[in-house]
A and B are shown apart, each in its own frame.
Chain A
Amino acid sequence: DTGVSQNPRHKITKRGQNVTFRCDPISEHNRLYWYRQTLGQGPEFLTYFQNEAQLEKSRLLSDRFSAERPKGSFSTLEIQRTEQGDSAMYLCASTHMRGPQHFGDGTRLSIL
């Protein structure tokens, strides 16, 4: 069990650029979640996959955000035309069925 891995750990980009983050869940975990955490707040749910199917998206996920989980393994979260308000920690978590969620250490996004 190598844990949930997220890359990159830090991303600094200029406003208007596109960014993509990757999450490698614990192997055989069929559920994968993305959360966003801003300073002074707890994580907020963004989206959820069961295997390769994206089953729910929060209203926080504007049309500039897209997430995929091809083949039900790793997942990517892409943000197009980044805005200042996108600056946050993006966390990924995985679980098997309804077991406890295991979180990665996140990707810290800073928009200049």
Chain B
Amino acid sequence: TQLLEQSPQFLSIQEGENLTVYCNSSSVFSSLQWYRQEPGEGPVLLVTVVTGGEVKKLKRLTFQFGDARKDSSLHITAAQTGDTGLYLCAAPGSDSWGKLQFGAGTQVVVTP
């Protein structure tokens, strides 16, 4: 069983501040995905990282995949209230069926 650990569990910051959330595992992954989930809604895919050391940017969000493909981070610059949500990392299972294993998520709250 591959275990994805996310930290911190909860993060509250003010608008304009920066934040970083982490996703760690002892297993090597072929790829890793980041999702954002808002209350009462399903997760929405933000990005997929595939290559060790890869950095992807999505506006104010920067995603990094560790060199060893065991960990990843999400950095948000100048957070806005619209960034509030549950950030989940997910990785494909060890079989070929495409099922995803998720971390427990980091709840981010951005206040005005």
Mark A residues whose CB is within 8 Å of B: 4, 31, 33, 35, 40-45, 48, 50, 55-56, 91, 93, 95, 98, 100-106, 108
- Contact size range, B: 20 to 34
Q: How many angstroms between the C-alpha atoms of A98 and B97 in the bound complex?
A: 8
Contact check: which of B42, B97, B102 meets A104 at CB < 8 Å?
Answer: B42
Question: How far apart are A108's CB and chain B's nearest CB, in angstroms?
Answer: 8
B102 near A43: Cβ-Cβ < 8 Å: yes
Contacts of A55 in B (CB 8 A): 97
Q: Tell me which residues across on chain A come within 8 A of B90, comparing CB atoms.
A: 42
Given that A48-B97, A56-B97, A100-B33 are contacting pairs, would A42 and B41 also be in contact in the complex, using a CB cutoff of 8 Å? no
Most buried by A among B4, B90, B100, B103: B100
Residues in chain A near residue B98, CB distance under 8 A: 31, 33, 48, 95, 98, 101
Per-residue A-contact encoding for B23-55, CB less than 8 Å = 1, 0 else: 000000000010000001111110010000000
Seed contacts A45-B93, A56-B97, A103-B44; 14 additional CB < 8 Å A-B pairs: A33-B100, A35-B100, A40-B104, A40-B105, A42-B90, A48-B98, A55-B97, A91-B42, A91-B43, A101-B98, A103-B43, A105-B41, A106-B41, A106-B42
